[in-house]
Structure 1
Amino acid sequence: MDMECSWKGRGTRCTGPSRRRCGRCGAVAYCSVSHQISHWSEHKEECERLEQHMKQIDVLNEFPFAFSQEATVEVCEKRETRCSFLSKRGIHQVGMWLYECPCGSSVTSMDCSRYVSGWDLPDELCPCKEPVSPISTHLCSWKEYYEWRCIPLHSPVALLLHWPLTVYHATQVAGVGSWASEISKQLKIHYVGPEKELLQLAVFAELHALFPGVHVHIELIGPAVPESRDGEKINLCQYAHCLKPDCFCKSPNDNLWDITETLGVTLRLRRGFYHERYRDIAKDLCPDLIIAPNAGIAAYSSWAPTVELIKEINVPAIFSDYCEEACHLGARCISSVTGSPLTLPIQLNPFRQPMVVEDSALLLPCYSNCFLYGM
């Protein structure tokens, strides 16, 4: 797996491909001995930790799907790409799948004004209807979810369903889910920092099946929300549609996006940083839980006032990130702001996206929503 030199842009130019890996952790690479020596003063603090992370590669890559090897090891080794994976399944640059590969990353600058309501898959490969049987236990793995929804393990829908399933799992580990405690008929979530999800909102309709009889209300707050959609309310009254023309998912109302208030899943979009918008939002809806997917807390200074706010309002908050190291750095930032340790230690998310991130910053495999931790 090729990657950039860890000392790139710090002074002297790189001399060529980064084929020299750290002999201890194996997680970082360099173009030359001189760049490796220059980086050691920074890298030595993280080296032992990354070495332990690298020992977990097999666990990170462990998924029950028929395509698991293809979507993990083969992508890491550049024998497969996200584009080729999607092309083989007829979903490359189609609908919600458009944003799952580099081809869609620049499309109309992430055009969040478009509603995309279908899976672009046959009905037997996607959850386009009510489940055959109500959920009766706490789901703990992708295998359990696929079996419950009667979806074959060669279906790629987990690549998009990791958004709502991570929400579902976060409620369980935070102790506010229906299997952890008796919740009311309404579950209120503040979802901080959405980006790609804004182009895949239809997948959140699956929360209707995961929380039967509960009205799930999610406020999606972040700077990526377009000004034109600030305050927009969306009620997901049906599941995302399949390709079958006469499927039950097309009736009685052919419009997934409905403006009527129904029992199910309601989304509201809010533009801006959470700490700037919270007071106005909380007038209408105080949260039971705060969720921040792929948060990157250590990478953005704007997180500090948000973390201070979360501590002040004392609401459970669950963060996710692409790898354990990002979570470690984020947790350290949270502790420095709050003066307190995490209430939920860093742990692997069983509902992480089952396709590795291409060209990640480390040789360690990275996945969207890979690890969770909380305060």
Structure 2
Amino acid sequence: MECAAKGRGTHCVDPPTRRCGRCGVVAYCSVDHQLSHWSDHKEECARFEQQMRSAEVLHDFPFTFSSEAMVQVHEKLETRCSFFMRQGLHQVGMWRYECHCGASVAASDCPRMINDWNLPSMLCPCHEPATRISMRLSNWKDYYAWRCLPLYSPVALLLHWTFTLYHALQLAAVRNSTNDTSNKLYIHYLGPDKELLQLAVFGELRALLPGIQVHIDLVGPAVPQFRDGERIDLCSYAHCMEVDCPCKSSSENASFGVPNDRNSAVTLRLSKGFYHERYREIVKDSFPHLVVASNAGIAAYSSWLPTIELIKEMNVPAIFSDYCEEAANLAARCISSVTGHPLGIPIQLNPFRQPMMVQDSSLFLPCYSNCFIFGM
């Protein structure tokens, strides 16, 4: 956390421990810096205050580990590393990218896709569900009940990527518009980053969208050059840690991540670069039913402006998410400035946000990965 008035003429004199008494969101190193910043902060202060009032709703999760993963992490009584150490998941498989000591690992450092939950079978969705999905899942509790998972299973900490995409499909009502004769669904997924190290979690779409052939183009500058154009067929679920579990059968092992002649339930294709630069090449094979961008940060990157202009011309639903409500509000302004219209899908809380608070946010606003969702 930095002083909100850093760089405004005078040097910071102390750590930024003095918070705004009204909103409690921004911090300052001194009274002088707080006073000098008021002209900038007064417009946002009431907005921040309102957002802080909804913090309890953001913290509402059904999991038994919620206090550790949220309150204690936020108050720095707990770190992500210590949380995963107690779970036996620190620096293990896909989980290694969820704490600071693994965050610096780039997708280029992981040439082989990891497809293990590193959990017992009773704690992870490593095989077909016991019953075919028959209703729209509205929250994590619905999913855990359907998949017969105990509420102390941590899999939601990784599955938030998959379920944000699933929720985006519901919001945009895309599935009803797919061609019933082909049963194919094309999604363009923009700006993947950490997801590139956790791609196996998208295999759960096999259970969520039965009978649908899902093709996802993941496009962004974080895709390593040597993986540009790579195709991955997810023909099985990520595996549990039990040697004798059916998920370890030779037929499933042979099909995971290896292109073959069979129709895959979920196919991923990686493309390096900005979407507006790669679009014409990608769309030759797959014009999208939906465009999705998780934790987009639209207001923070000018490269989004030509992409939003392109999506406007495409006239397809586009769903975005971000870490906090303020980031979503700023993104909405950027989108409206380009399109000339308000959001088609208003800013709302994502019921499938990651149930662990983000550490070291630039503001004291509660932040979660894929926390708020909205669309054009």
- The verdict on a shared fold, with TM-score over 0.5 as the criterion, is yes
Q: Which residue of 1 aligns with 2:5?
A: 7
User: Any idea what the Cα deviations from partners look like across 1:188-246, whole Å, max 9, x if unmatched?
Assistant: 10000000000000000000000001011000000000110111100001100000001
Q: Which residue of 1 aligns with 2:259?
A: 259
Kept in 1: contact 2:107–2:224 (CA 8 A): no
CA distance in 2, matches of 1:109, 1:306: 23
Q: Which residue of 2 aligns with 1:286?
A: 287
Kept in 2: contact 1:214–1:263 (CA 8 A): no
Q: Which residue of 1 aligns with 2:313?
A: 312
Q: Which residue of 1 aligns with 2:19?
A: 21
Cα displacement (A) at 1:9: 3.6
User: Any idea what the Cα deviations from partners look like across 1:26-52, whole Å, max 9, x if unmatched?
Assistant: 111111111112222221121111111
The residue type paired with residue 363 of structure 1 is F
Kept in 1: contact 2:174–2:289 (CA 8 A): yes
Q: Which residue of 2 aligns with 1:357?
A: 358
Secondary structure in structure 2 of the residue aligned to 1:50: helix
CA distance in 2, matches of 1:8, 1:56: 28
Kept in 1: contact 2:178–2:185 (CA 8 A): no
Kept in 1: contact 2:178–2:184 (CA 8 A): no
Cα displacement (A) at 1:8: 2.3
Alignment of 1:14-93 (within 5 A): 14-93=12-91
Alignment of 1:144-159 (within 5 A): 144-159=142-157
Cα displacement (A) at 1:114: 2.8
C-alpha distance 257-224 of structure 1, shift in aligned 2 (>3 A): same
The residue type paired with residue 173 of structure 2 is G
Out of 233, 243, 254, the position equivalent to 1:235 is 233
C-alpha distance 138-109 of structure 1, shift in aligned 2 (>3 A): closer
The residue type paired with residue 259 of structure 1 is P
Give yes or no for the alignment of 1:215 onto 2:216.
no
C-alpha distance 110-89 of structure 1, shift in aligned 2 (>3 A): farther
Kept in 2: contact 1:111–1:199 (CA 8 A): no
CA distance in 1, matches of 2:228, 2:179: 33
CA distance in 2, matches of 1:306, 1:167: 19
Identity %: 66
In structure 2, runs of 5+ residues without a counterpart are none
The residue type paired with residue 229 of structure 1 is R
Q: Which residue of 2 aligns with 1:249?
A: 247
CA distance in 2, matches of 1:191, 1:126: 25
The residue type paired with residue 253 of structure 1 is E
Alignment of 1:121-200 (within 5 A): 121-177=119-175, 185-200=183-198
Between 1:38-47 and 1:125-134, the stretch displaced more is 38-47
C-alpha distance 219-315 of structure 1, shift in aligned 2 (>3 A): same
Q: Which residue of 2 aligns with 1:337?
A: 338
CA distance in 1, matches of 2:139, 2:222: 30
Cα displacement (A) at 1:25: 1.1
Cα displacement (A) at 1:175: 1.1
Cα displacement (A) at 1:6: 1.3
CA distance in 1, matches of 2:269, 2:188: 10
CA distance in 2, matches of 1:110, 1:341: 38
Kept in 2: contact 1:317–1:374 (CA 8 A): yes
Q: Which residue of 2 aligns with 1:303?
A: 304
TM-score, normalised to structure 1, is: 0.96
What is the CA RMSD across the aligned residues, in angstroms? 1.4
The residue type paired with residue 140 of structure 1 is S
Q: Give the number of aligned pairs.
A: 372
Kept in 2: contact 1:185–1:213 (CA 8 A): yes
C-alpha distance 263-108 of structure 1, shift in aligned 2 (>3 A): closer
Kept in 2: contact 1:168–1:177 (CA 8 A): no
Runs of 4+ in 1 over 6 A off after TM superposition: none
CA distance in 2, matches of 1:132, 1:14: 59
CA distance in 2, matches of 1:142, 1:201: 20
Q: Which residue of 2 aligns with 1:105?
A: 103
CA distance in 2, matches of 1:108, 1:339: 37
The residue type paired with residue 305 of structure 2 is A
CA distance in 1, matches of 2:108, 2:233: 22
CA distance in 1, matches of 2:346, 2:188: 21
The residue type paired with residue 217 of structure 1 is H
C-alpha distance 297-309 of structure 1, shift in aligned 2 (>3 A): same
CA distance in 1, matches of 2:55, 2:179: 37
Secondary structure in structure 2 of the residue aligned to 1:291: strand
In structure 1, runs of 5+ residues without a counterpart are none
The residue type paired with residue 17 of structure 1 is P
Kept in 1: contact 2:237–2:247 (CA 8 A): yes
The residue type paired with residue 4 of structure 2 is S
CA distance in 2, matches of 1:196, 1:227: 16
TM-score, normalised to structure 2, is: 0.96
The residue type paired with residue 366 of structure 1 is C
CA distance in 2, matches of 1:249, 1:224: 31
